[in-house]
Amino acid sequence: MTKRKPLIAGNWKMFKTGPEAKELTSRLKSLVSDIVDVDVMVAPPFTALAVVAEAAQDSVVYLGAQDLFWETEGAYTGQISAPMLTAAGCSYVIIGHSERRQFFGETNETVNRKIKAALEGELIPVLCVGESEAQRDNEQTFSVVKTQLKEGLEGIDTPGLERLIVAYEPIWAIGTGKTATSEQAQEVHEFIRKQMETIGGNSIAKTLRILYGGSVKPKNIAGLMAKDDIDGALVGGASLDADTFAGIIRPCSHLAEGKA
């Protein structure tokens, strides 16, 4: 039986200045200092990475970035590379978030290049997939997610797939207060695991951590985590307050034993 350790990740998006991020991290660190069986990650804006890395030292809180560029260095004004993120203390990077796809022209092809760059730079990529409301209404959820996985992971070898994390984030549930029901989420997570079996084989599929994202709150985390294929959460709004975020992390402790 494979046990998957829960991962609760906070995507701070374009919130928190350096000093605010430092304060939030210090409070979070003290609130979750006794939790050892849940991986916790926060992804602040680039400008706060250094202070958060310092504030999170000697804690269970890992650092992630919200995006990266696929080249390692060069004349690319405004971009940040994998080696820069690693040097800033990041171990994770979120790739292909729906807001990047929607507002910044991210495609499955650019996602694929970024995942390769992240792996090359020893970062753990968190690949975000998910359908819009219209796509769900048109019963295209599975085909959209299938294409995002297939094209996003094109040419990635087994060691890369072993490090990958996938986040299922239905766009209609992000920042809207409309969470997918645990059943709706489980159905897609199970589908993702099956697709990953086709892409990478049985062992990759079994050990892959699949996070759910979209209006996760302290009150709905337990129901989501009770599902077989939900291994954690990617949290936006509710990760901006340390006490609320800790209220999502704590119920995930002591759960790993129960999961197949």
CA–CA distance, 67 with 98 (Å, rounded to integer): 12
CA–CA distance, 189 with 199 (Å, rounded to integer): 15
Is 235 a binder of ligand PGA (CB under 6 A)? Answer: yes
- Catalytic residue of the set 97, 99, 106, 131: 97
Q: From the list 175, 181, 254, 258, which residue makes contact with ligand PGA (rule: CB under 6 A)?
A: 175
Sign of CA dihedral 21, 91, 84, 80: negative
Cβ at position 96, least distance to ligand PGA in Å = 11
Spatial CA neighbour of 148 closest among 190, 109, 175, 91: 109
Cβ at position 9, least distance to ligand PGA in Å = 8
* Residue 146 zone, left/alpha/beta (φ > 0; ψ -120 to 50; rest): alpha
Cβ at position 201, least distance to ligand PGA in Å = 28
| 189 is an active site residue | no
Nearer to ligand PGA, 160 or 170 (CB): 170
# residues near ligand PGA by CB under 6 A: 13
Residue nearest to ligand PGA (CB): 236
Spatial CA neighbour of 80 closest among 56, 107, 44, 54: 44
Neighbours of 201 (CB within 10 A): 12
Whole-angstrom Cα Rg for the chain? 17
Q: From the list 44, 64, 130, 237, which residue makes contact with ligand PGA (rule: CB under 6 A)?
A: 237
**What track of x and - describes contact with ligand PGA for positions 190 through 229 (by CB under 6 A)?**
-----------------------xxxx-------------
DSSP per-residue letters across 150-188: HHHTTT--HHHHHH-EEEE--GGGTTSS-PPPHHHHHHH
Cβ at position 167, least distance to ligand PGA in Å = 7
| Token output for 46 | 């680039």
Nearer to ligand PGA, 234 or 246 (CB): 234
| 23 is an active site residue | no
Q: From the list 106, 131, 169, 231, which residue makes contact with ligand PGA (rule: CB under 6 A)?
A: 169
Sign of CA dihedral 236, 237, 239, 240: positive
Q: From the list 48, 90, 119, 174, which residue makes contact with ligand PGA (rule: CB under 6 A)?
A: 174
- Catalytic residue of the set 99, 106, 169, 189: 169
Is 11 a binder of ligand PGA (CB under 6 A)? Answer: yes
Compute the CA torsion angle 222, 223, 226, 231 (nearest 10 deg): -70
Catalytic residue annotation? 97, 169
Interaction site with ligand PGA (CB under 6 A): 11, 169, 174-175, 213-216, 234-238
